[in-house]
Structure 1
Amino acid sequence: MSTTEPTASTRLWDGPTRLFHWSMAILIVVAWLTAGKQMEVHRLSGYAVIGLLVFRLWWGVAGGSTARFASFLKGPGATVAYLKTLRSREPGETAGHNPLGAWSVVAMLVVMAVQAGLGLFAVDIDGIESGPFSDLVDFDTGRAFAEGHELSFRVLQGLIGLHLLAIAYYRFWKGENLVGAMVTGRRVFATAVEPLKAAPLWRLVVGAVVAAAFAYAVAKGFHFKFK
């Protein structure tokens, strides 16, 4: 009887992808805890989330191989085929997101973008606290944006809950330590897989500058005063 020996630790996630992941997790918690209490911190965390989302979109096109949308987004056929393997206790051998995890990532990015975008136009019940673009809408519309902002966060909470359940499932049923891989950037596979192909440094710099500039412009409501 033959056995399959694990390969050496393989580089899976680059630094920018891991930094995005953990920074976004922290910012979501901060935004949640400060909503309606410390609105200045809440707004700043929202602007940071927007900057991170812009960076992730750029990195999904120009980043390392496993961070690119083209490398992990699969069609319905591949996704259904993967669903049929979920009962198996064999760990996956995908160098990056599996087809199901890939679509969950997209869903979370979309909901976070909607949630942050609605907050930009939101107005509180007293009309005191408002987003930087609230002057573009009337009070009732601003209140509708605020309600949508809260509702979309409930949807995001649901997706985060499913994400945590998936992490537990892969850890205890399939023996895949997804959290460890996102911390270290490396994972041991049973068979040889293609390792991460890192992106050049200049792409990281461009993405960071564009993301920071866009977040700053949003925070200012795209209103600039030049002396």
Structure 2
Amino acid sequence: MYRIRVWDWPTRLFHWLLVAAVVGLVVSGNVGGAWMEWHMRLGFFVLSLLWFRLLWGLWGGRWSRFAAFLYAPQSLWAYLRGRSPVTHRVGHTPLGALSVFAMLAVLGLQVGTGLFTDDEIFYAGPLTALASYDTIEAASRYHKGWGKWILIGLVALHLLALLAYKLLARQALVSAMITGDKIMNEPAESANDGPRQWLLAAVLYAIACGLTYLVVTWGG
């Protein structure tokens, strides 16, 4: 058996911060009222995390890069038949990659529409001044309706997939995202996870914060 460092510290920190932020967004959005101020702040925080993940997907750890889990359709078919190579089973599998890209896309759309949302009571997104009434109305309707339920549905599906992997495939994906390591019966390349990677992640997150600031102040 081989212990492979799959998820570096920046990837793990991103993952758990995103989990906490999304939970906070769902709770604050449903409670409403004065909590909408925190809902807005958490939305900005998630936007910074999404910017960081895009940058980390280009320059991050071995198994966190998008290049490591951009699969052709035949790779998904091979994985479902149990015939995929070891490199397709170390990090995000072909099936898991679909979940990752779907989650990033849905979160990006949810945060993006939130920037244009106006409930005419407690909250107005920072970019509402740049949009027409029809655009604000469409963004608000999606953000508070379909967008919210699609996100909640994806989260529920993600949790069910984790449970299925644990019970059926005997793969503890949650513990791997905590420790960073995955036990494999075949050797594979480990991700770099040291001070140089952490410094790079800090620089990229600083850039992500700068991009977030530019976006949220654009309408000012």
Query: TM-score, with normalisation over the residues of structure 2?
Result: 0.89
Deviation at 1:202, TM superposition (A): 4.4
* Matched residue SS, 1:188: strand
CA RMSD between the two structures: 2.0
Q: Is the 8 A contact 1:93 1:190 kept in 2?
A: no
Is structure 2 residue 70 aligned with structure 1 residue 73? yes
* Matched residue SS, 1:153: helix
The match for 2:50 is 53
Is structure 2 residue 197 aligned with structure 1 residue 182? no
Greater percentage in helix = 2
Deviation at 1:67, TM superposition (A): 0.3
The match for 2:18 is 24
- CA–CA distance in 2 between the matches of 1:93 and 1:53? 24
The percentage of aligned residue pairs carrying the same residue is: 38
Q: Deviations over 1:158-177 (max 9, x none)?
A: 11111111100110111100
Deviation at 1:58, TM superposition (A): 0.2
How many residues get paired? 212
- CA–CA distance in 1 between the matches of 2:105 and 2:117? 18
- CA–CA distance in 2 between the matches of 1:68 and 1:52? 15
The match for 2:110 is 115
The match for 1:3 is none
Please list, as runs of the form range in 1=range in 2, the aligned pairs for 1:62-141 lying within 5 A after superposition.
62-85=59-82, 94-124=89-119, 126=120, 128-141=122-135
Deviation at 1:80, TM superposition (A): 1.4
Deviation at 1:127, TM superposition (A): 5.2
Is structure 2 residue 206 aligned with structure 1 residue 209? yes
Amino acid at match of 1:205: A
Q: Which runs of 5+ in 1 are unaligned?
A: 1-5
Is structure 2 residue 187 aligned with structure 1 residue 192? yes
* Matched residue SS, 2:44: helix
- CA–CA distance in 1 between the matches of 2:219 and 2:118? 18
Deviation at 1:140, TM superposition (A): 4.0
- CA–CA distance in 2 between the matches of 1:163 and 1:138? 36
Structure of higher CA gyration radius: 1
- CA–CA distance in 2 between the matches of 1:162 and 1:92? 24
